[in-house]
A and B are shown apart, each in its own frame.
Chain A
């Protein structure tokens, strides 16, 4: 397992050959066959007192990895446990739940559903038996309605019906902000405007100041745009204003220095915005722009060739009416 990125250095794994496989949700799959890892190779890192994170594998969803490709984990408080991301499938969530139980008997009271993409929320089914509170953005319910069945079908194809999981709806909708008190630590939630998706929820551990931007922060792997480019840049500014020192990204090392990681992300998004605007202004057709915009970023992100063209398409559609 690669060493965690030091001092905010962006960890960019080498790009290997073909990535073609099941792409779930237009985003959030590290389709990089870096290791032929199985779920047995997952490990948890304690990134702060009582905060445990499993770094997602740089792989496509495979029967061996249970779609364990996002950074998932949990926070242990005096009274209860909160799950920060539930996992990419029922099997992935079950693995996480077992890891929790190895370390504590405290009730699993809360599960965060950070957004609609399956690699982040399809593990939630593993926590239904805990009668946990599933907390999500106010628009998550509708997003799950629109896409949940589709995601499940794709996961069943890869993992089989037993391991895929099913849609779990939030029991607590966050309109703007919310707080959850685990007894000795308060977690603060923010429902963001349209950004990575239309239902992004971030979290701050007020005890340690550790920020959980979920997929508002990608490190090393190319961000994927499934909401609003301009909105994402706005939400990034809001996150930056929190002045968190460290953060747990949705994909990438288990914990990073927040400022440089966010700067790299916004550099990519700003380049995408500026060059797409220019393409629109110059009358470059959308399909041509998809092949030419943001090429300066190409060597800096894993899976660039697989996702940048789509990001440009979404950005163009958003910006051409400006």
Chain B
């Protein structure tokens, strides 16, 4: 049974208070302070350098659906990257996801879909092989993404949980671009159940590991900012025999495994 997540609202324009430049300065200072607070919470005292080359964010400037904002992270200098983080500064739980790349990964891009609750900076942080952190930022206008209710009962929303699909497309050179889809409501604890009229307790996919044959491709740590029915994109180098094996687990002890064979090569 399909879940129909209702995007609560489109992005809103908020009225400017006072002359534009003043309001912008105040807003910027507030956002910078928030980033300092959030990044310290997530990364501790580690230094994070801005970059415009190591990692780039593709995000809509205004979300079409705040509960489903597609984000692409591109890492052109892929060989240096061992992991990437996505942080949505103003969200109730800003840490959205962490991708950790294994030896079979092609860490040149990842895709995910997130919930965004209010106008916010979105930070992407790349971690290089030597443990240094570099960040890029994009501003996204969205509101209500975290409170957007599922349109159906909790039971219906959990129907078919853990079912997975994978699609593959030729990537750059020999790498394959994979899209992993997992059925899961990713309840974030802030959504009112329209039937019971109480808040549905949080229950979300928090860990996914992907391997190809004996090699790790990527593991993903996710949090409540990831949209329901998560869809992740990543690339990998299919050396040797497969299959692709995915293991997913959620915060309530749910555990699912599925293997996928690569599409047959045409001759």
Interface residues of A (CB under 8 A from B): 20-26, 139, 142-143, 145-147, 150, 154, 157, 194, 198, 226-228, 283, 285-287, 290, 309-310, 312-314, 317-318, 320-321
Contact = CB atoms under 8 A, between A and B. Distances in A.
Interface in B1-57: 2, 4-13, 15
Task: Enumerate the 10 nearest inter-chain pairs by beta-carbon distance, A residue then B residue, closest first.
Answer: A142-B194, A310-B64, A287-B70, A146-B149, A23-B10, A313-B64, A309-B64, A313-B65, A146-B192, A198-B151
Contacts of A286: 68, 70, 113, 231
Contacts of B138: none
A317 B194 contact: no
Contacts of B183: 321
Contacts of A24: 9
Contacts of A320: 181, 231
A322 to B, nearest CB: 9
Contact of A145 (B5, B165, B197, B229): B197
Given A20-B13, A26-B6, 7 more contacts: A23-B10, A23-B12, A26-B7, A150-B147, A194-B151, A226-B6, A313-B7
B8 A22 contact: no
A167 to B, nearest CB: 13
A318 B4 contact: yes
**Interface centre among A198, A313, A318, by most B CB within 10 Å?**
A313
Nearest to B195: A142
A260 B36 CA distance: 58
Nearest to A225: B7
Contacts of A21: 13
A108 to B, nearest CB: 29
A109 to B, nearest CB: 28
Contacts of B7: 26, 226, 310, 313-314
A39 to B, nearest CB: 21
B194 A154 contact: no
B13 A25 contact: no
**Interface centre among A139, A147, A150, A157, by most B CB within 10 Å?**
A147
B111 interface: yes
A287 B167 CA distance: 17
16 contacts: A23-B10, A26-B8, A142-B197, A150-B147, A154-B9, A194-B151, A226-B6, A226-B7, A227-B4, A227-B151, A287-B58, A309-B64, A310-B65, A313-B64, A320-B181, A321-B2
B111 A285 contact: yes
Interface string B91-130: 0000000000000000000010100000000000000000
Interface string B222-254: 000000010101000000000000000000000
B60 interface: yes
A287 B192 contact: no
Interface residues of B, number: 39
A139 B60 CA distance: 32
Interface in B125-181: 144, 147, 149, 151, 165, 167, 169, 179, 181
B4 A194 contact: yes
A150 B5 contact: no
B10 A198 contact: no
A257 B11 CA distance: 35
B65 A314 contact: yes
Contact of A147 (B4, B8, B72, B165): B8
A320 B70 CA distance: 14
B10 A145 contact: no
Contacts of A143: 194
A147 B229 CA distance: 22
Contacts of B113: 286
B181 A321 contact: yes
Nearest to A25: B9
A283 B169 contact: yes
A224 B16 CA distance: 28
Contacts of A321: 2, 165, 181, 183, 229
Given A283-B167, A285-B70, A290-B64, A150 B144 contact: yes
Contacts of B12: 22-23, 154
A175 B157 CA distance: 21
**Interface centre among B9, B72, B111, B231, by most A CB within 10 Å?**
B9
Contacts of A312: 64
Nearest to B11: A23
A283 B176 CA distance: 13
A309 B65 CA distance: 9
A176 to B, nearest CB: 18
Contact of A198 (B4, B9, B15, B229): B4
A142 B7 CA distance: 15
A20 B141 CA distance: 12
Nearest to A140: B194
B13 A198 contact: no
Given A287-B70, A313-B64, A145 B8 contact: no
A229 B197 CA distance: 26
Contacts of B72: 285, 287
Contacts of A25: 9
A147 B70 CA distance: 24
Nearest to A290: B64
